[in-house]
Structure 1
Amino acid sequence: MRKDYLISVIMGVHNSSKDKCIRAVQSIEKQTYKNWEFIICDDGSTNDTLIFLKEIAKKDKRIKLFSTEENHGLAFALNQCIKNANGEFIARMDDDDISLPDRLELELNFLTSHKEYSFVSTNFILESSNGEHIKKMKRVPTKNDFLWSSPFLHPATMFRKEDLIKVNGYRVANETRRAEDYDLFMRMYIAGMKGYNIQRSLYKYYIGESEAKKKSKYIYRIYEAHIRFVNFKRLDLPFVKVVMFSIKPLIVGSLPKSVVYLIRVRNK
């Protein structure tokens, strides 16, 4: 594998936890693969997020910080990062997670060795109030694997930049809020692209109960049902399955939020 490939790590933040965000940034700085740039978009934070990010950026020239005055949502923030990315590969990162030290190296090695894949993700360690658990993902998901939920962990994914651009990046719309990754992965499959999951845990993913409750707001379940219906049809899935699995978020959204949190932890 060439050592001169530039990886653009992208992260959208909004009112981040200082300790978790610093931990996330440090996990990239500790990567075994060193040729990266870290592009962070502060999406209209109203706390001290932008202040401490500026301090972090001063200490490492590879960190590039952008900000917006208003909150536009994660899809918008990530698209701004992509526009400012110079790398041939785009790696996602969330501000409350940890990339294990060899994540970037192993994902890059896979993509440079397997030209037939447009993106790669990984098994991961799930961190929640129930402790830590290893989550295994299907090695080579097919379009049918999108029926229940996304078969890829978004923040653990590395993309070929050219393929992200071919599908116009993340779709900024009301219905993609809280489901921008699900929509993106399905659109890439619709375009004939495919992804792979490395069968090693290279990422530690945090699910907090408060964040799970935000995602359980019923309006987001309505939006997700719309995304499912439209993309399932474009994936040419059987119509019965299109209907059955499109209403799944509406059913889940009617459950108590504490139950939804447990379902998210289990399904992840």
Structure 2
Amino acid sequence: MKFSILIAHYNNAALFRDCYKSLRKQTYPDWEAVILDDASSEKEKEEIQSIIQGDERFKFFENKKNSGVGFTKSKLIELATGEICGFVDPDDAILPTAIESAVHVFKQKKNAVLTYSRFMICDKDLNPIAPFKSAMQVKNGDPYFFNYPIQMAHFITFRKDVYEQTEKINPALKIAEDQDLYLKMYEKGDVYFIDDTNYLYRTHAGGISQNNNKEKSYDYFAQVVFNTMKRRNLISINGKKIPEHYSSYQEIFSLLEYQHGILYRIKKKISITLQKIFR
């Protein structure tokens, strides 16, 4: 079972070497790394190609023009030749058994369409700061699951053939393209939580998802959630009508506030426990 590591790169070569080293340490042998550069500077592209030179498992491609992360990640999946895919950002890294543990689930669970695990928040030098504590097994087959608050996160891996049965990643997305992928895959089968820390998430000033424009991030995520509601043909949530058209992230996320309640969380925990027993 071949695994495709997908890397969307844009002017991040200075931090890529750690990512590269982590991939070469993988205990699972059958993998490729597909890098798609989104019109970085020539110096940046040359540095990436210099790092991967001599290792045929690494494949380098370029967008003709800067096209954004949604387009780039969608194209990366098209370029992948593996049965299983997983995204790794060029400034992050994965632990040695990350791929092996994911492939093990897909081999054992034929109904699994996606796996995810825990990630460690790190400083600019990849020194651990704190684990992402919200990661946990979610209830499968729930039309009202929108990964809000976020529980499914790095290290995400998925079956490429199942992805191709979805509407695929919206190429117009500049942020929240990962959430778009997760929710579309969730609708096609079961997702499995691997209770290990498999991903090192680097925090630094140049991180795309770490900028100060939080409202734009919320807005993109809310649009993904709204489109998911429409795709699932939902009319109302917890007695509240879903609007016909998207207006603001406040309106969309207000529909999901009930999921923070104690009673809801207790019921969810019971459902997930039963799911673990009978799956």
TM-score (norm 2): 0.76
Name whichever of 178-187 and 201-210 sits farther off: 201-210
Aligned pairs for 1:194-209 within 5 A: 194-209=190-205
Match of 1:224 among 204, 221, 227: 221
CA deviation digits over 1:196-222, x for unaligned, max 9? 220111111123355355362544433
What letter is aligned with 2:31? W
Name the CA distance, whole Å, in 2 between partners of 1:128 and 1:249.
33
CA deviation digits over 1:9-61, x for unaligned, max 9? 1110101041x211101101110011111100011112622111111232201
Runs of 4+ in 1 over 6 A off after TM superposition: 248-251
Alpha-carbon spacing, 1:250–1:135, altered in 2? closer, same or farther (3 Å): closer
Greater C-alpha radius of gyration: 2
1:192 and 2:188 aligned = yes
Q: Secondary structure at the match of 2:67?
A: coil
- Corresponding residue for 2:137? 139
Q: Is the 8 A contact 1:24 1:96 kept in 2?
A: yes
Aligned pairs for 1:109-188 within 5 A: 109-128=104-123, 132-136=129-133, 137-142=135-140, 143=142, 144-146=144-146, 148-154=148-154, 156-173=155-172, 176-188=173-185
Name the CA distance, whole Å, in 2 between partners of 1:111 and 1:123.
18
| Corresponding residue pairs, total | 241
- Corresponding residue for 2:99? 104
What letter is aligned with 1:139? Q
The percent identity for this pair of structures is 25
1:34 and 2:37 aligned = no
Q: Is the 8 A contact 2:94 2:199 kept in 1?
A: yes
Q: Is the 8 A contact 2:203 2:210 kept in 1?
A: no
Q: Secondary structure at the match of 2:89?
A: coil
CA deviation digits over 1:111-145, x for unaligned, max 9? 11111110101012111479611224112345445
Q: Is the 8 A contact 2:115 2:156 kept in 1?
A: yes
Name the CA distance, whole Å, in 2 between partners of 1:213 and 1:203.
17
Alpha-carbon spacing, 1:36–1:210, altered in 2? closer, same or farther (3 Å): closer
Q: Which runs of no fewer than 5 residues in structure 2 stay unpaired?
A: 255-279
Deviation of the 1:91 alpha carbon: 1.7
TM-score (norm 1): 0.79
Q: Secondary structure at the match of 2:35?
A: strand
Name the structure where helix makes up a greater proportion of residues. 1
